[in-house]
C-alpha cells in the first residue's frame, strides 16, 4: 500500500526526480560519486568507504543533527536498514517491510509504501529489512513474505511485485537486493525452517526471472525458464534425501567484484543444526560429509547464474556458523587483489579474487573452542570433543552431550557489515565476544516448522564487554586497535577519507573514531539502540552523515543470558541526519 503526502503535491522536491535515471555506470562508480548512495554498501564491493573528508578528525566534534525522521506508529522494531540517497531524496526501508522517500534537505516525507504482509509469516530474527536498491527510475526492496517489489521512485507506486518463494514453507526475505547489468539479484531467508538457499536474477524492468541458482548440491538451476545445471553433484556430500531440505539460506545478499565480473553470495547453515543427523558428525578422509555448499562463499557468473568457485568456511557445520557474511574485494598492501570476509565462526579469511582460493586466515575473536586453527588448505582443524553430542548415543536418546562453544551461534561477527579504509588498509570489524552451551536433539522435517535439532544458551565471556570493534590488518591478522562495548555490537560500520570510523551501539550512541588510533572523537545519543548502517554523502557542498536508530534484531530474541543484560534498552525508529555547519568546518 502506497501513501502519498500532500506535501509532495505542494512542491517538495519532485520535479527533478522524474528526470533522473540511475545507470549501470552510476552503480559501478557509486563509491566515487559522492553526491549519491544508490547501492547497499556504498558501492557493490561493500567497502563502506567514502572519499569525502569535509568532516574529518579535526572538526567531527562539531557534527550536529540537522533533522530526524520518525518511522513511527507501533512498528518500532529492529531497524537494520541502510539509507540510499539520490537526487535530493533519501530512501530508507523499515521494519515490517516498509519503504519511505524523504526530502534529504528538510526531512519531510514524500511518500511511504507499506507492504500488505499476510498472517503467518515466519521471520527468524525480527521483522527487519536491511535496505533497497535503485536502478533506472525504480527502487527495489524485499518483503517478509518472500517477495521482491519494484516501485516508481517518484511516486511509490508498484511497478511489479514478484514471489521469491513460499512464506508458508518458512521462506522470507530481509536483505538489500544487488543490481548488476540490468538484473535485480536476490537471495532468500529461512534457514531455520529447512528451506533451500537460492540466488535469483530478474530483469529489472519487467521482473521476469532470468536465472536461478540453488546453493545446496543436488538442486537444479534454471536459465531463461529452462533447467540449466545442477549445483554440485547429487549425494556427493549429503546423505539420502537430506539435501532436499538442506538449508544454506542466502539471507544477507551478495557483493559484486567488477574486475572479475563475479557475484559473491554466502550460504548459511545446513539444516538441521544437528550435524549427526546429516551424517556429518565424524570426519571422513574424502570430505564426503561436508554438506556443500552450506556455510560457504560462492562465486557466481552474474549473466547466467553458473557457479565459478566456492570456499566453505565450516565443513560439517554443527554450531550454526552461517557462511553468509559479506565478501569484500580489496587490494592489499602488497598490491595483490584479494577478498576478505569475517566469518561467524570467529576466523577472518583472505581469498584470491580470481578463483576464491584460500590465501590466509586468523582468529579475530578470543578463546575459540571448536577449532584449533585453519590448515594450509583453509579447512578448520576441529576440536572434535567440542562438537555438540549425538542424541542417539545418549542413554535416553533425547539430548546429546552439552558442550560450551566459542563463539556463540550468533557469531564472532554476524550480519553487521564491516568497513574497509583505502587509506589505512585496515578492516573495521564489529565483533562480539561470547560463547554458548549447545546440545543436539532429535528432529524431523515438517513444512513451515522450525528445523533445528539443537538447544542453546548464549553467555558472555568477559564482565567488562561483549561488543568489540576491531581494526584488523588483513595482511598480518593483527588487531591495530579495539573499542570495547558493554552490550553486543549489532550495527554496521563506515569509514571515510576524513580519517573517521562511524558505528553505533545498542545503548543508542552514534560514535566516530580515529581510524588510526581508535580514539573516540565524537558521540551522539540517538534515543534507541543502533543496529542500522551509517552512510555519508555530499549535498550543496556540505557533507552529511546519517544513521537509523531502533533497537531490535536477533539479540533480544535469541540472546539467552546476554538478552537479559540488554532487556532495558528501548525500541525506536528514527533516521538521524548530521552535518558540520559551514562556519565550523575549519574550526578546531
Instruction: Provide the 3-class DSSP secondary structure of residue 368.
Output: coil
- Tell which residue, 493, 509, 483, 506, has the closest CA to residue 563: 506
- Tell which residue, 304, 308, 274, 278, has the closest CA to residue 291: 278
The mean per-residue pLDDT over the stretch 278-303 comes to 90
Residues found in the chain: 588
Determine the pLDDT at residue 139.
98
> Is the confidence at residue 292, as pLDDT, over 90?
yes
Provide, rounded to the nearest whole percent, the portion of the chain with pLDDT above 70: 96
In angstroms, the CA 99 to CA 131 distance is 9
In angstroms, the CA 448 to CA 401 distance is 28
> Is the confidence at residue 9, as pLDDT, over 60?
no
> Is the confidence at residue 8, as pLDDT, over 70?
no
> Is the confidence at residue 338, as pLDDT, over 50?
yes
Provide, rounded to the nearest whole percent, the portion of the chain with pLDDT above 90: 84
With beta carbons less than 8 A apart as the criterion, state whether 140 and 173 touch: no
Determine the pLDDT at residue 588.
58
With beta carbons less than 8 A apart as the criterion, state whether 405 and 436 touch: yes
Continuous H helices in 43-83: none
- 457 forms beta bridges with 437
How would residue 140 be classed by pLDDT, with cut points 50, 70 and 90? very high
- 542 forms beta bridges with 539
Q: Cis peptide leading into 407, omega within 30 of 0?
A: yes
Q: Among the options 320, 322, 360, 515, which is catalytic?
A: 320
**Structure-block grid coordinates of residue 246:** 538442506
pLDDT digits 0-9 by tens, 63-92: 999 999 999 876 778 899 999 999 999 999
Determine the pLDDT at residue 56.
98
- Asked whether the whole model's pTM tops 0.75, one would answer yes
Question: 83-97, 119-133, 209-223, 229-243: which range is least confident on average?
Answer: 119-133
Determine the pLDDT at residue 17.
40
pLDDT digits 0-9 by tens, 87-118: 999 999 999 999 999 999 999 999 999 998 98
How would residue 286 be classed by pLDDT, with cut points 50, 70 and 90? confident
Q: What are phi and psi of 347, to 5 degrees?
A: -110, 140
17 sits in which H/E element: helix 15-19
Q: What are phi and psi of 209, to 5 degrees?
A: -70, 135
Determine the pLDDT at residue 15.
42
> Is the confidence at residue 287, as pLDDT, over 90?
no
Determine the pLDDT at residue 1.
60
Q: Domain spanning 2-112+124-584: which CATH class is it, in words?
A: mainly beta
Determine the pLDDT at residue 218.
97
**Structure-block grid coordinates of residue 243:** 539435501
Instruction: Provide the 3-class DSSP secondary structure of residue 514.
Output: strand
> Is the confidence at residue 474, as pLDDT, over 50?
yes
In angstroms, the CA 583 to CA 284 distance is 67
In angstroms, the CA 376 to CA 532 distance is 36
How would residue 127 be classed by pLDDT, with cut points 50, 70 and 90? confident
With beta carbons less than 8 A apart as the criterion, state whether 139 and 99 touch: yes
320 belongs to the catalytic site: yes
Mean pLDDT across the chain, nearest whole number?
93
In angstroms, the CA 211 to CA 228 distance is 9
Amino acid at each position: 500500500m502506497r501513501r502519498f503526502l500532500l506535501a509532495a503535491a505542494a512542491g517538495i522536491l519532485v520535479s527533478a526526480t522524474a528526470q533522473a535515471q540511475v545507470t549501470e555506470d552510476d552503480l559501478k562508480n557509486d563509491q566515487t560519486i559522492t553526491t549519491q548512495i544508490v547501492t547497499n554498501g556504498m558501492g557493490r564491493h561493500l567497502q563502506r568507504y567514502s572519499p569525502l573528508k569535509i568532516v574529518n578528525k579535526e572538526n567531527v566534534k562539531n557534527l550536529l543533527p540537522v533533522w530526524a525522521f520518525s518511522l513511527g506508529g507501533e512498528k518500532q522494531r529492529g531497524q537494520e536498514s541502510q539509507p540510499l540517497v539520490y537526487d535530493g531524496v533519501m530512501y530508507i526501508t523499515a521494519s515490517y517491510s516498509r519503504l519511505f522517500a524523504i526530502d534529504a534537505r528538510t526531512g519531510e516525507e514524500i511518500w511511504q509504501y507499506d507492504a500488505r504482509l499476510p498472517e503467518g509469516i515466519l521471520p527468524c530474527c525480527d521483522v527487519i529489512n536491511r535496505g533497497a536498491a535503485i536502478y533506472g527510475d525504480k527502487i527495489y526492496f524485499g518483503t517478509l513474505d518472500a517477495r521482491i517489489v519494484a516501485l516508481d521512485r517518484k511516486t511509490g507506486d508498484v511497478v511489479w511485485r514478484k514471489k521469491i518463494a513460499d512464506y508458508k514453507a518458512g521462506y522470507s526475505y530481509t536483505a538489500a537486493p544487488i543490481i548488476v547489468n540490468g538484473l535485480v539479484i536476490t537471495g532468500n531467508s529461512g534457514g531455520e525452517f529447512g528451506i533451500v538457499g537460492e540466488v535469483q536474477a530478474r530483469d529489472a524492468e519487467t521482473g521476469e526471472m532470468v536465472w536461478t541458482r540453488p546453493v545446496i548440491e543436488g538442486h537444479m538451476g534454471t536459465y531463461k525458464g529452462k533447467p540449466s545445471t545442477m549445483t554440485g553433484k547429487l549425494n556427493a556430500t549429503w546423505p539420502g534425501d537430506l539435501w532436499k531440505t538442506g538449508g544454506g539460506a542466502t539471507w544477507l545478499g551478495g557483493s559484486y567484484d567488477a574486475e572479475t565480473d563475479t557475484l559473491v553470495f554466502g550460504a548459511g547453515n545446513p539444516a538441521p543444526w544437528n550435524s549427526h543427523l546429516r551424517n556429518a558428525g565424524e570426519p571422513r578422509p574424502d570430505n564426503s560429509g561436508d554438506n556443500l555448499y552450506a556455510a560457504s562463499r560462492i562465486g557466481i557468473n552474474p549473466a547466467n547464474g553458473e557457479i565459478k568457485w566456492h570456499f566453505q568456511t565450516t565443513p560439517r557445520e554443527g554450531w550454526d556458523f552461517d557462511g553468509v557474511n559479506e565478501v569484500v574485494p580489496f587490494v592489499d598492501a602488497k598490491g595483490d587483489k584479494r577478498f576478505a570476509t569475517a566469518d561467524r565462526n570467529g576466523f577472518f579469511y583472505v581469498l584470491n579474487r580470481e578463483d576464491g582460493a584460500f590465501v590466509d586466515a586468523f582468529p579475530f575473536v578470543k578463546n575459540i573452542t571448536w577449532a584449533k586453527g585453519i590448515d594450509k588448505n583453509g579447512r578448520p582443524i576441529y576440536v572434535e570433543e567440542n562438537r555438540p553430542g549425538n542424541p542417539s548415543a545418549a542413554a535416553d536418546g533425547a539430548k546429546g552431550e552439552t558442550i560450551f562453544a566459542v563463539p556463540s551461534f550468533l557469531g564472532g561477527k554476524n550480519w553487521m557489515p564491516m568497513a574497509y579504509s583505502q587509506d589505512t588498509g585496515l578492516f573495521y570489524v564489529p565483533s562480539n565476544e561470547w560463547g554458548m552451551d549447545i546440545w543436539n536433539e532429535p528432529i524431523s522435517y515438517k513444512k513451515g516448522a522450525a528445523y533445528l535439532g539443537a538447544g542453546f544458551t548464549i553467555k558472555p565471556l568477559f564482565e567488562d564487554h561483549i561488543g568489540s570493534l576491531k581494526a584488523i590488518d588483513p595482511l598480518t591478522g593483527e588487531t591495530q586497535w579495539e573499542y570495547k562495548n558493554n552490550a553486543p555490537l549489532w550495527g554496521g560500520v563506515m569509514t571515510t577519507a576524513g580519517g573517521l570510523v562511524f558505528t553505533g551501539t545498542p545503548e543508542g550512541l552514534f560514535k566516530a573514531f580515529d581510524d588510526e588510533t581508535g580514539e573516540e572523537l565524537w558521540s551522539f545519543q540517538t534515543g534507541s539502540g543502533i543496529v542500522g548502517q551509517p552512510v555519508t554523502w555530499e549535498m550543496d557542498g556540505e557533507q552529511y552523515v546519517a544513521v537509523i536508530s531502533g533497537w531490535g534484531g536477533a539479540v533480544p530474541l535469541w540472546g539467552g543470558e546476554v538478552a537479559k543484560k540488554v532487556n532495558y534498552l528501548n525500541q525506536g525508529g528514527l533516521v538521524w541526519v548530521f552535518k558540520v555547519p559551514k562556519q565550523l568546518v575549519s574550526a578546531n
